[in-house]
Amino acid sequence: MAYQTLDVEPLAGAMGAVIHGVDLSTDLSNQAFDEIHQAFLDHKAIFFHNQNLDPQQQIAFGRRFGPMGVYPFMEGLEEAPETFEILKTEDDKQNFGGAWHSDMSFTSIPPLGTMLYSLEMPDAGGDTLFANTALAYDALSDGMKDMLDGLIGVYSAALKRSGGRAQRFKTNKSMNAKNMDNVDMEAEHPVVRTHPETGKKALYLGKGHTVRFKDMTEAESRPLIDFLAEHCVRPEFTCRFAWGVGSLALWDNRCTLHFAIDDYPGQRRRMRRLTIEGDQPV
C-alpha cells in the first residue's frame, strides 16, 4: 500500500519493516494507526527506534491492536501487571527465548502478537531473528500441503526437548517466575492455520512446543515436526533485527517464529514485554 503518514523501510525481502518518524508515546491519529496496522499485516513484524515509553504508554499502544493478554509463567510489573520484564544479567548463563518458537502456542487461544521494548542492551549482540511461516508454507510442495491439511498438533509448555521450563528458569535467576507447577499445560491446534485478517495460510509449529501430532506418538511425529520446523527458518524466510535502547518490536504471532540470540556473555539485556490477545487457530 502507499503510506501517507509513515516512512516504512523493509528490513529484508522475506519480512520485517522499520517504521520511521512516529512517536509512539503520543495519541496516534486513526490514519497513522491504520497505516501501522497495515504495515504489521504486510510485513509480519514491525520495528521502531528511539522511542521513550513508560509501561502505560506501551500498553496504550498495544491496546490499539486488541486486549492485553497474560503470560502464565511470569509476574507482571506492580505498576503495570499487563507487562513484565525479560532480564539477563551479567551472571546469568542462559537467555529467555533462545530457540525458535511462536509465543504461547501451548494455550488454547495464543496471542495475536507480542510487543517487546528495549530498556538496556549489551555493547554488541542481543539481536532477534524472525521467520515468516506463511512464506514457508507457500514454498511447500502440493503433496506436502495436502498431507498437512487437517493435521492437528499437540503443543506443550513443558519444553522437555530443551531440558524443561522449570530448569530454564533456574538457570536465569533474574526472571520472576510463577506457576511452575503448571508447566505441563497443553493445547491442540492445526499445524496449518489460516490468518483471520489476511486469509493466508501459515505453518504453525516448532520444535520446542509442538510435541506430537494428535493420535500419533512423539516418536512417529518427530521427524515431520523437525523437517517442518527447520524448513520454516531457512534463511530466505527470515530477517534479523538489531536493537538499540528505546527500540520497539511488534510481531504477528500467527504467522511468524522468533529466536533471541544469546551472544553477549557477561552483559545485561533488559526488555519489557506484553502480549495482545488473539483468537483460536483454525
Helix (H, G, I), strand (E, B) or coil at 162: helix
Whether 31 is in a domain gets the answer: yes
Whether 281 is in a domain gets the answer: no
CATH code for position 108: 3.60.130.10
pLDDT of residue 177: 65
Whether 2 is in a domain gets the answer: no
Whether 1 is in a domain gets the answer: no
pLDDT of residue 1: 60
Q: Which three cell numbers stand for residue 16?
A: 520485517
Burial of 158 (0-12, 13-18, 19+ CB in 10 A): middle
Whether 181 is in a domain gets the answer: yes
Whether 14 is in a domain gets the answer: yes
Q: Is 44 left (phi over 0), alpha (psi -120 to 50) or beta?
A: left
∠ at Cα 135 (199, 211), nearest 5°?
A: 90
Among 3-7, 238-242, 261-265, 270-274, the range scoring the smallest mean pLDDT is 3-7
- Alpha-carbon distance 207 to 259, whole Å? 12
Tabulate helix, strand, coil % of the chain (nearest 5): 25, 30, 50
How many of the other CB atoms lie within 10 Å of CB of 199?
Answer: 7
DSSP string for 113-127: EEEEEEEE--SS---
Whole-model pTM over 0.85: yes
Residue 225 backbone phi and psi in degrees, to 5 = -60, -45
- Alpha-carbon distance 213 to 62, whole Å? 33
Span 225-246, average pLDDT: 98
Whether 64 is in a domain gets the answer: yes
Each residue's pLDDT tens digit, 152-211: 999 998 876 654 445 555 555 565 666 566 667 899 999 999 999 999 999 999 998 999
Each residue's pLDDT tens digit, 76-126: 999 999 999 999 999 998 898 899 999 999 999 999 999 999 999 999 999
pLDDT of residue 70: 86
Whether 282 is in a domain gets the answer: no
* Pair 39, 46: CB distance under 8 Å: yes
Sheet hosting strand 256-260, strand order edge to edge:
238-241, 128-132, 256-260
- Alpha-carbon distance 257 to 206, whole Å? 8
Residue 73's pLDDT band, with cuts at 50, 70 and 90, is confident
- Supply the range of the domain harboring residue 147: 7-276
What total of structural domains would you count in the chain?
Answer: 1
Total number of residues shown for the chain: 282
DSSP string for 6-69: -EEEE-SSSS-EEEES--TTS---HHHHHHHHHHHHHHSEEEE-S----HHHHHHHHHTTS-B-
Each residue's pLDDT tens digit, 10-56: 999 999 999 999 999 999 999 999 999 999 999 999 999 999 999 99
The DSSP output letter for 258 is E
Residues with a catalytic annotation lie at 101, 103, 258, 273
